[in-house]
């Protein structure tokens, strides 16, 4: 799999992810400079080899409107590590309103969790307290840096030092 490149703003806040071709173009045009490379990878062209960037930083501050993480099924599953937040099951997953909609529970990051069908049915139209069920974590609204750190742990450890301070938000 081709490695992606993390792009940081001038102030080191993460801006997003680009493919390596785009990262090289930004570097060659001197719009960005590499901060870290994937040391075990190289980019070969006909007559030269390039270091394979892992993290680049833009030379100019880009004013980027805050891009929240979209509230949707996939991102909720991702936040919850694809596991039921009551029993830890990783199969037959659905979404659960912690405070049921019938009791005024909102459709929001803080009131939605991943649950297996079994727990979802057991819980029914009750709150976790009423159903005697305990959540593994309190649901939270993830930041872009949180998702990037998740990705980095699996695919790009080189990014982690640049995300560490920014994973709580």
Q: How far is the CB of 147 from Zn ion (least distance, A)?
A: 23
User: Residue 43 and residue 24: Cα distance in Å, rounded?
Assistant: 10
Question: Which strand ranges, in their side-by-side order, compose the sheet holding 14-18?
Answer: 14-18, 5-8, 49-58, 32-44
Shortest CA distance to 148 belongs to which of 163, 168, 169, 161? 163
Q: How far is the CB of 113 from Zn ion (least distance, A)?
A: 10
Stretch that binds Zn ion, among 33-41, 66-74, 94-102, 108-116 (CB under 5 A): 108-116
Residue 39 or 125 having the CB closest to Zn ion = 125
By CB under 5 A, residue 119 contacts Zn ion = yes
Q: Chain-centre distance of CA 164, in angstroms?
A: 13
Residue 31 or 82 having the CB closest to Zn ion = 82
Q: How long, in residues, is the chain? A: 169
By CB under 5 A, residue 17 contacts Zn ion = no
By CB under 5 A, residue 89 contacts Zn ion = yes
Stretch that binds Zn ion, among 18-26, 111-119, 124-132, 151-159 (CB under 5 A): 111-119
Hey, which residues between 68 and 87 contact Zn ion (CB under 5 A)? Answer: 84, 86-87
Q: How far is the CB of 91 from Zn ion (least distance, A)?
A: 9
56, 23 Cβ separation under 8 angstroms: yes
Q: Which residues bind Zn ion (CB under 5 A)?
A: 84, 86-87, 89, 116, 119
């Amino acid at each position: 799999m081709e490695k992606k490149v993390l792009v940081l703003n001038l102030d080191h806040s993460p801006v997003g992810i680009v493919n390596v071709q785009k990262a090289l173009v930004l570097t060659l045009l001197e719009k960005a400079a590499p901060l870290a490379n994937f040391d075990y990878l190289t980019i070969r062209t006909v007559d030269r080899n390039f270091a394979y960037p892992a993290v680049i930083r833009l030379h100019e501050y880009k004013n980027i409107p805050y891009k929240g993480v979209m509230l949707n099924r996939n991102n909720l599953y991702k936040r919850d590590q694809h596991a039921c937040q009551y029993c830890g099951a990783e199969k037959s997953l659905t979404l659960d309103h912690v405070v049921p909609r019938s009791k005024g529970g909102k459709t929001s990051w803080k009131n939605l969790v991943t649950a297996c069908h079994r727990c979802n049915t057991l819980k029914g139209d009750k709150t976790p307290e009423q159903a005697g069920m305990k959540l593994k974590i309190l649901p939270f609204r993830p930041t872009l840096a949180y998702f990037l750190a998740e990705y980095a742990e699996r695919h790009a450890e080189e990014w982690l030092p640049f995300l560490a301070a920014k994973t709580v938000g």
